[in-house]
């Protein structure tokens, strides 16, 4: 059916074009013969083709343009009075006798154009006559194209200021009156189109109407181009008349399009000075009109106008633009009770954007917009609809992008209240936007009060899972979010020690509610921030003293101990153990032996009770040994206790190679190559001998299981430890012991039961070359290494 209708319409269009061409041919013959009567007769027959009602607006336009081209040629003939032998006045009267009204009016408009150009009568009188007579055609499509033709031929003949057709004092008003009258009649015809067919084709009619909207809108463009239309005429005549027509037509399509036309075609300064009138019409529009887009475009134009020159900013304050826009938006939302949330929020986004462009210094205006949004969302469930939440994110992001400073946003009391209206997922998205803004602008947030407000905004990222199962979270996204929080914590700093301690306590209060999945990300940066404060206090060289002083190292270490203890119960024992060792090192630097010893104690307890994986135990033991080696604050008794624990646990690791390496690492606990460092050569040798026994046992076990003793890597590693302590001057490590170990390794490598291993052989060969190099040095070193035969 649709295809058949299109084919019929194409056929009717072809027939109409053929009729125009046929009659135009005879019209041209009559024109060439200067036969006015036949020319008018043929032109009337040609224009009769425009009387059809069978074509859609798109097809009718094609037909109209064919007739329009011919009418331009006819107009040229009418201008040459010597050819047709009739005065223009008589010609104006003559064409009014055409049989059908539509051809008659087209001819009348054509002759009227020539009549005005002849200046034999005032332009305003001819235009008034023409615009009145065009009322004779009330068919919407035919009437619209007829009036469009009238507007086209009269556009350069309006009695405008400075025009050759200028009249008296009110000449600009005469031009305005003509265009307004034509606009009013065209709008009525356009609106009437929706009632020209049955309800079932309403959608088709609306589409056709949409195709014709520019015919109506061009009148407003003409109005904006009239030279004499100043602000006074626009304010007192043009805008009220146009708005009256828009409001009274009660048509959704017409109201939306024409409001948009007003905003687009008239100057920005006119909009600013007539803001109250323009905005006053908005609540009177139909509830279905997309008023949010209209107002958004208005505010965008005003924002651009404000940005064009600083000189215009006082005008915005003078007319109270913000107050009027804010009030109008509130009235529109109140009037359009069915407006979706996303539409209302979009209006506030546009208002906020306008405010940030025009009044960036007025934070009270910004907060007022956010407050209006809070009022809008009050009592409603949290937003989950995608477009609405996207607009809220845009609303909250706007101040961040404008000020490039989250500190400014933190002063807005309604900012967190708007965030509370978001669902959990969007809340997290907005929290990430805030963190990214801080990172991008390297913002320093240096007071505990501001951090309290900030972390309230970020609670979507740092609070517990709120019943969401851990396996429902996207691991990659979650890790990225928590890593961002961790980076943020590193950026929180204040040079004042007391305030920094308050910051640490504030952050701790918030992150401790993060639950077991978040603490491993957020606790470490907090610990290192606190350790940074400890080292700063140490650098002050005793300026901050006394138990009454809040920011004391003891108080900070107590806080650290409680924080890590919470982490160890998550459980995340390996991480907690590392942090205990870091704190022990800081306590050592501050000469707080009891504190350092307590942190080591906690680390050993974690090792004993929580670290169960064999690989994790090996890593943990080497960390403990490394940290313990650097301790110089420990007394003899405490150090002995801890080293005894370390060597004991080293020998109890699951795998023999791991035991061996941990035990020979313990040898460094008894020989610290520093001034006043411990140097117990005997216990060093005991560790090395014990490691050697474990290595031999490992080879024997390998031989019993697989028939081969495995590589000699462990023996070569022990040899290197012997060489290290031999060079450091440990009297218990002799050249004879090294000689014996070299021979042992050589024999083992030559044994048939030993598994060939290129890496071990290369390692041993490198060690032998080192010994030879030392022997060749000569002097004390050469003499020392001389007895070793390799």
Mean of per-residue pLDDT scores for the chain:
87
Residue keyed to tokens 């006819």: 74
Q: Rounded to whole angstroms, how far apart are CA atoms 184 and 604?
A: 91
The structure tokens listed for 290 are 């997309």
Q: Rounded to whole angstroms, how far apart are CA atoms 483 and 65?
A: 66
Q: Rounded to whole angstroms, how far apart are CA atoms 531 and 730?
A: 36
Burial state string for 450-484 with b = 16 or more CB within 10 A and e = fewer than 16: bbbbbbebbbbbbbebeeeeeeeeeeeebeebbeb
Q: Rounded to whole angstroms, how far apart are CA atoms 754 and 707?
A: 9
pLDDT at 710 over 70: no
- Look at residues 378, 373, 261, 282 and name the one whose alpha carbon lies nearest to residue 325: 282
First to last CA, the chain: 105
Burial class (CB in 10 A: 0-12, 13-18, 19+), 593: middle
- Range among 128-132, 307-311, 538-542 with highest mean pLDDT value: 128-132
Q: Rounded to whole angstroms, how far apart are CA atoms 628 and 184?
A: 93
pLDDT at 201 over 90: no
Dihedral sign, CA of 98, 104, 109, 110? negative
Q: Rounded to whole angstroms, how far apart are CA atoms 138 and 431?
A: 60
| Residue 318 neighbours by CB under 8 Å, 6+ apart | none
pLDDT at 740 over 50: yes
Q: Which pLDDT band, with edges at 50, 70 and 90, does 655 fall under?
A: very high
Q: Quick one: how far is CA 665 from the chain centroid? A: 52
Q: Which pLDDT band, with edges at 50, 70 and 90, does 707 fall under?
A: low
pLDDT (mean) for 193-206: 71
Residue keyed to tokens 């490198």: 766
pLDDT (mean) for 185-191: 93
Q: Which pLDDT band, with edges at 50, 70 and 90, does 451 fall under?
A: very high
The structure tokens listed for 145 are 């194209």
Q: Rounded to whole angstroms, how far apart are CA atoms 664 and 723?
A: 13
Q: Rounded to whole angstroms, how far apart are CA atoms 709 and 698?
A: 8
pLDDT at 544 over 80: no
Query: pLDDT (tens digit, 9 = 90+) per residue, 562-617?
Result: 999 888 777 788 999 999 999 999 999 888 999 999 999 999 999 999 999 999 99
Q: Rounded to whole angstroms, how far apart are CA atoms 587 and 633?
A: 9
What does the pLDDT read at residue 404? 86
CB of 492 closer than 8 Å to CB of 507: yes
Query: pLDDT (tens digit, 9 = 90+) per residue, 206-227?
Result: 888 888 899 999 999 999 988 8
What does the pLDDT read at residue 386? 76
pLDDT at 311 over 80: yes
Q: Rounded to whole angstroms, how far apart are CA atoms 107 and 100?
A: 11
Q: Which pLDDT band, with edges at 50, 70 and 90, does 198 fall under?
A: low
Residue with the bigger pLDDT between 708 and 773: it is 773
DSSP calls for 545-612: -STTSSS-HHHHHHHHHHHHHHHHTTT-HHHHHHHHHHHHHHHHHTT-HHHHHHHHHHHHHHHHHT--
Query: pLDDT (tens digit, 9 = 90+) per residue, 55-87?
Result: 888 899 999 999 999 999 888 888 876 566 678
Q: Rounded to whole angstroms, how far apart are CA atoms 81 and 91?
A: 10
Percent of the chain with pLDDT over 70: 94
The dihedral formed by the CA atoms of 775, 777, 781 and 784, expressed in degrees to the nearest 10? 20
Neighbours of 270 (CB within 10 A): 19
Q: Which pLDDT band, with edges at 50, 70 and 90, does 545 fall under?
A: very low
CATH entry 3.40.50.1360 includes domain 655-789: no
What does the pLDDT read at residue 92? 82
pLDDT at 391 over 50: yes
Q: Which pLDDT band, with edges at 50, 70 and 90, does 91 fall under?
A: confident
Angle between helices 614-629 and 656-666 in degrees, nearest 10: 10
Query: pLDDT (tens digit, 9 = 90+) per residue, 457-490?
Result: 898 888 854 445 444 567 888 899 999 999 999 9
What are the structural domain ranges in the chain? Answer: 1-121, 146-266, 655-789
pLDDT at 541 over 70: no
The structure tokens listed for 10 are 């194409």
pLDDT at 547 over 70: no
pLDDT at 424 over 60: yes
pLDDT (mean) for 651-660: 94
pLDDT (mean) for 327-355: 89
Residue with the bigger pLDDT between 394 and 381: it is 394
What does the pLDDT read at residue 84? 64
pLDDT at 777 over 60: yes
What does the pLDDT read at residue 227? 84
Q: Which pLDDT band, with edges at 50, 70 and 90, does 553 fall under?
A: confident
- Look at residues 609, 611, 581 and name the one whose alpha carbon lies nearest to residue 597: 581
Burial state string for 329-342 with b = 16 or more CB within 10 A and e = fewer than 16: bbebbeebeebebb
What does the pLDDT read at residue 719? 95
Q: Rounded to whole angstroms, how far apart are CA atoms 375 and 357?
A: 24
The structure tokens listed for 585 are 């090192």
Q: Rounded to whole angstroms, how far apart are CA atoms 664 and 622?
A: 11
Query: pLDDT (tens digit, 9 = 90+) per residue, 42-51?
Result: 999 999 999 9
Q: Rounded to whole angstroms, how far apart are CA atoms 269 and 274?
A: 9
Residue keyed to tokens 């040629």: 73
Q: Rounded to whole angstroms, how far apart are CA atoms 268 and 306?
A: 9
Secondary structure (3-state) at 680: coil
What does the pLDDT read at residue 464? 57
610 preceded by cis ω (within 30°)? Answer: no
CB of 584 closer than 8 Å to CB of 631: yes
Dihedral sign, CA of 761, 762, 765, 770? negative
What does the pLDDT read at residue 639? 93
Q: Rounded to whole angstroms, how far apart are CA atoms 172 and 175?
A: 5
Residue with the bigger pLDDT between 307 and 201: it is 307
What does the pLDDT read at residue 200? 62
pLDDT at 675 over 80: no
HSE at residue 751, side-chain half, CA atoms within 13 A, is 17
pLDDT (mean) for 18-42: 89
| Residue 14 neighbours by CB under 8 Å, 6+ apart | none
Angle between helices 593-609 and 614-629 in degrees, nearest 10: 170
Query: pLDDT (tens digit, 9 = 90+) per residue, 222-260?
Result: 999 888 889 999 999 999 999 999 999 998 999 999 999
């Amino acid at each position: 059916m649709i295809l058949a209708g299109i084919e019929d319409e194409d056929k009717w269009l072809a027939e109409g074009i053929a009729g125009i061409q046929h009659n135009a041919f005879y019209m041209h013959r009559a024109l060439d013969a200067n036969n006015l009567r036949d020319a008018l007769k043929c032109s009337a027959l040609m224009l009769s083709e425009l009387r059809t009602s069978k074509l859609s607006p798109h097809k009718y336009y094609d037909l109209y343009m064919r007739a329009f081209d011919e009418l331009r040629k006819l107009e040229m003939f009418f201008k040459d009075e010597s050819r047709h032998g009739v005065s223009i006045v008589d010609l104006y009267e003559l064409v009014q006798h055409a049989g059908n009204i539509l051809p008659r009016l087209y001819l009348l408009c054509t002759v009227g154009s020539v009549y005005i150009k002849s200046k034999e009568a005032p332009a305003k009188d001819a235009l008034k006559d023409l615009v009145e007579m065009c009322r004779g055609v009330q068919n919407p499509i035919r009437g619209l194209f007829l009036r469009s033709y009238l507007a086209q031929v009269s556009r350069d003949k309006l009695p405008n200021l400075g025009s050759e057709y200028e009249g008296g004092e009110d000449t600009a008003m005469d031009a305005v009156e003509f265009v307004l009258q034509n606009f009013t009649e065209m709008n009525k015809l356009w609106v009437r189109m929706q009632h020209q067919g049955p309800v079932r084709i309403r959608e088709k009619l609306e589409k056709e109407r949409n195709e014709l909207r520019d015919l109506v809108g061009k009148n407003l463009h003409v109005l904006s181009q009239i030279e004499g239309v100043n602000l006074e005429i626009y304010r007192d005549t043009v805008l009220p008349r146009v708005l009256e027509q828009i409001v009274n037509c009660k048509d959704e399509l017409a109201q939306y399009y024409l409001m948009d036309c007003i905003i687009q075609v008239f100057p920005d300064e006119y909009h600013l000075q007539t803001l109250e009138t323009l905005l006053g019409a908005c609540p009177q529009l139909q509830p279905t009109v997309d008023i949010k887009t209209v107002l958004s475009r208005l505010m965008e134009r005003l924002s651009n106008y404000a940005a064009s020159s600083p000189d215009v900013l006082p005008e915005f304050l003078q007319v109270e633009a913000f107050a009027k826009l804010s009030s109008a938006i509130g009235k529109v939302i109140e009037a359009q009770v069915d407006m979706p949330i996303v539409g209302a929020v979009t209006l506030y986004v546009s208002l906020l954007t306008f405010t940030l462009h025009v009044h960036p210094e007025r934070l009270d205006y910004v907060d007022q917009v956010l407050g209006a949004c809070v009022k809008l969302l009050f009592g409603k469930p949290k937003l989950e609809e995608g477009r609405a939440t996207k607009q809220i994110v845009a609303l909250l992001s706007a101040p961040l992008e404008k000020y490039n400073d989250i500190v400014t946003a933190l002063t807005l009391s309604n900012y967190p209240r708007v965030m509370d209206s978001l669902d959990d997922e969007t809340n997290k998205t907005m929290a990430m936007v805030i963190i990214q803004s801080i990172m991008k602008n390297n913002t320093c947030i240096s007071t505990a009060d501001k951090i309290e407000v900030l972390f309230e905004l970020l609670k979507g990222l740092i609070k517990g899972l709120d019943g969401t199962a851990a396996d429902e979270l996207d691991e990659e996204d979650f890790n990225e979010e928590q890593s961002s929080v961790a980076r943020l914590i590193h950026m929180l700093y204040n040079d004042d020690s007391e305030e920094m301690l308050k910051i640490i306590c504030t952050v701790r209060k918030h992150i401790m509610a993060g639950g077991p999945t978040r603490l491993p990300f957020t606790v470490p940066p907090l610990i290192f921030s606190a350790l940074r404060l400890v080292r700063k206090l140490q650098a002050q060289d005793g300026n901050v003293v006394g138990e009454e002083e809040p920011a004391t190292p003891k108080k900070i270490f107590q806080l650290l101990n409680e924080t890590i203890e919470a982490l160890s119960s998550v459980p995340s024992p390996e991480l907690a153990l590392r942090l205990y060792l870091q704190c022990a090192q800081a306590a050592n630097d501050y000469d707080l032996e009891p504190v350092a010893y307590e942190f080591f104690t906690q680390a050993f307890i974690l090792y004993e009770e929580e670290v169960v994986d064999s690989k994790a135990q090996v890593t943990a033991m080497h960390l403990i040994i490394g940290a313990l080696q650097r301790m110089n604050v420990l007394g003899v008794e405490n150090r002995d206790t801890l080293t005894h624990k370390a060597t004991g646990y080293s020998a109890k690791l699951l795998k023999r190679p791991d035991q061996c390496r941990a035990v020979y690492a313990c040898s460094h606990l008894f020989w610290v190559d520093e001034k006043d460092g411990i140097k117990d050569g005997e216990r060093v040798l005991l560790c090395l001998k014990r490691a050697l026994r474990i290595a031999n046992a490992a080879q024997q076990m390998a031989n019993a299981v697989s028939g081969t003793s495995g590589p000699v890597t462990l023996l070569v590693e022990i040899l290197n430890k012997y060489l290290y302590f031999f060079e450091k001057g440990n009297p218990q490590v002799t050249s004879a012991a090294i000689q014996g170990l070299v021979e042992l390794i050589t024999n083992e490598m030559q044994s048939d039961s030993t598994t060939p291993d290129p890496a071990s052989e290369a390692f041993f060969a490198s060690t032998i070359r080192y010994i030879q190099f030392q022997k060749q040095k000569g002097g004390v070193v050469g003499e020392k290494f001389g007895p070793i035969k390799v």
